[in-house]
Amino acid sequence: MTENEVQAILQRQREYFAAGHTLPAEARLAALKKLKAALQRREADFAAALQADLGKSAYESYMCETGLTLSEASWMIRHLRGLMRERTVPTPLSQFAARSFRSPTPYGNVLIMSPWNYPVLLTLDPLIDAVAAGNTAVVKPSAYAPATSALLAQVIGECFPPEHVCVITGGRAENQALLRQKFDMIFFTGSKAVGKEVLRCAAEHLTPAVLELGGKSPCIVEKTAKIGLAAKRIVFGKYLNCGQTCVAPDYILCDESIRDDLVAAIRKEITAQYGADPLANTAYGKIINEKHYHRLMGLIDPAKVVCGGTGDETAHRIAPTVMQDVTWEDAVMGEEIFGPILPVLTYTDLNAALAEIETRPHPLALYLFSEDKAVQRRVLDRCHFGGGCLNDTIIHLATSAMPFGGVGESGMGGYHGKTGFEAFSHLRSIVDKKTWMDMPVRYQPYSTLKDKMLRFFLR
């Protein structure tokens, strides 16, 4: 798509928004219900597309993509009218007589750029929030998931006129053409490197942006943890989607005294969940492309592998891999892994371990396995991260009742549910000043009496 074509789409969307078509609650609800129905109707088609792009099973496609998206749509449909309502807030005595209230209003024309690893969920979830808030949207899915991107374009095209929501497919050229345009808000999910470029482009137009990035999310296993259960939940969260999950546990940091028991339990769980030969498990999935396959294989140190370490280059598949005796200087600790490689580091002093985590960029997620409430409190107080779990992994993102987002280098802003609606809205502060009386305190000429009244009101 040429830049002129992009500009023409944006102009039509601006005109559609200016005409007020996206503003009524009835219009927003109708659009959300139509999208939800289409997602339900095309569930099998989305499963087939996700299988083609990422090797996902139909079960995993529903559990982690289609089902979660339907949940967000259902939540938004139930709560939309309440979210749109003006909220009265207290009025200071100095502004008597008046009513103060907060009023949400859509930004206007928004750009949503989504990644390849969860291409349905991470495209449609923010789109649901944007439509609920009353915006028009340009959606740019990743070129790395071509089957899903093509299906998203088809389904969204059936649900929305292009002047309301339009999907633009393609690669880097289309991304750059879009980022040169002036949007009213940008929502980006992807890597930190591309996120920086998105923010630079947004700054040219002073456009607000929400960035959902990533980072090396630690999984701390303290000595009081239930080892067997911790291993089961870590294996689930780490190897889901072959580790290509922004909130996957990137590495384990465990008490040295339990390292061997934990590693043994993890190896046992890998066999229990994926079979003796995970590469023969058709529900296990694959690495997105050859480039990422070779990058991941290059992070594996065969001398430190205690499980897995093998791959199938033709199919872009890597077995669930565990490495132990890993240090912060190893190559696998130098970048976000984003694949099925689990390094295990140890500590002897938890406070020192937490201090080490805090010297590094704040992660998108942090997980702690511990039965000690004091330890749980200490970790939550000491560490900065986007979100996480106590005694589990990744499930914190699967609810519309809590915001999802990063902090520092792992992102800015959040979404899901109420937070998602507000992310795509500007909350206006409005004072409705009554006309049946007018307090004289603020007007000149000033006097001793006015000074006393002013000090009475403002204290």
Q: Kindly list the catalytic residues.
A: 212, 246
Instruction: Tell me the residue type at 205.
Output: H
410 and 121 Cβ atoms separated by less than 8 Å: no
DSSP 194: H
**In the numeric block, which tokens belong to residue 306?**
């205690």
DSSP 90: -
How far apart, in whole angstroms, are the C-alpha atoms of residue 189 and residue 105?
A: 23
DSSP 138: E
Q: What is the CA radius of gyration of the chain?
A: 25
Instruction: Tell me the residue type at 390.
Output: L
How far apart, in whole angstroms, are the C-alpha atoms of residue 276 and residue 342?
A: 18
Burial class from Cβ neighbours inside 10 Å (0-12, 13-18, 19+) for residue 327 reads: exposed
How far apart, in whole angstroms, are the C-alpha atoms of residue 168 and residue 253?
A: 42
261 and 227 Cβ atoms separated by less than 8 Å: yes
Query: Mapping DSSP to helix (H, G, I), strand (E, B) and coil, where does residue 108 land?
Result: coil
